[in-house]
């Protein structure tokens, strides 16, 4: 008797990912932030969000509630994130649940996710694999295991304000110059 396939292996992975992206946009809009999905497969981000003069790029990674990991694939050169920035670059980890009221969002700087993934992969490579054999260093899968990072993630739960803390306007050249003020007439 064949085991039933999981949602990802049965071809629903793209649908789960898309659902997470739409949930993030909906949450931002609900909070009064202008947000939009990037074109499909845009390099480096999934959602653009604007609040006043500030813009931030958001990467979205979604897992469904029955799975305990968020998974990435490293690029052939080993990088995990394209165009990783020090600021205005965030990841929202979505725990997609059947009931909308149970959705979980973890909003954190992408550089932190990157550090966790690199450390996790290094630790995985050091640990013995099946029957004590070494793990394959060319494996491009990178995992963030929810149970292992639950305590770390808790501080980022529903942490939407981080998107705007310490931000500078994204492109100073795009700002309209303030008109010069004429000197006050003397009286």
Percent of the chain with pLDDT over 90: 64
Containing domain of residue 18, as a range? 8-166
In 3D space, the residue among 100, 128, 105 whose CA is nearest the CA of residue 35 turns out to be 105
Name the pairing type of β-strands 89-96 and 54-64.
parallel
What DSSP letter does each residue of 75-105 carry, written as one string?
-TTS-SSTT--SSSEEEEEEEE-SSGGG-EE
CATH code at position 122: 3.40.1350.10
In 3D space, the residue among 84, 81, 104 whose CA is nearest the CA of residue 94 turns out to be 104
Q: Is residue 59 part of a domain?
A: yes
Q: Is residue 172 part of a domain?
A: no
In 3D space, the residue among 32, 42, 70, 37 whose CA is nearest the CA of residue 164 turns out to be 32
Position 180 pLDDT exceeds 80: no
User: What is the per-residue pLDDT across 28-78, written as a single tens digit (0 to 9) for each?
Assistant: 999 999 999 999 878 889 999 999 999 999 999 999 988 999 999 999 998
User: What is the per-residue pLDDT across 103-137, written as a single tens digit (0 to 9) for each?
Assistant: 999 999 999 999 999 999 999 999 998 999 999 99
Domain count, the chain: 1
Q: Is residue 120 part of a domain?
A: yes
Q: Is residue 49 part of a domain?
A: yes
Mean pLDDT score across all residues of the chain = 84
């Amino acid at each position: 008797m064949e085991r039933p396939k999981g949602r990802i292996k049965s071809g629903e992975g793209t649908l789960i990912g898309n659902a997470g992206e739409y949930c993030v946009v909906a949450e931002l809009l609900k909070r009064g932030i202008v947000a939009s999905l990037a074109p499909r497969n845009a390099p480096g981000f999934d959602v653009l969000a604007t609040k006043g003069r500030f813009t931030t790029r958001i990467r979205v990674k979604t897992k469904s509630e029955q799975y305990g990991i968020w998974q990435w694939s490293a690029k052939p050169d080993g990088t995990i994130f394209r165009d990783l920035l020090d600021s205005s670059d965030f990841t929202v980890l979505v725990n997609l649940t059947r009931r909308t009221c149970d959705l979980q969002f973890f909003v954190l700087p992408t550089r932190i996710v990157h550090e966790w993934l690199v450390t996790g992969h290094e630790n995985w490579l050091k640990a013995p694999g099946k029957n004590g054999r070494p793990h394959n260093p060319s494996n491009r899968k990178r995992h963030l295991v929810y149970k292992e990072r639950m305590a770390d993630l808790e501080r980022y739960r529903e942490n939407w304000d981080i998107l705007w803390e310490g931000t500078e306007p994204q492109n100073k050249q795009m700002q309209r110059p303030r008109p010069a003020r004429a000197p006050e007439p003397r009286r």
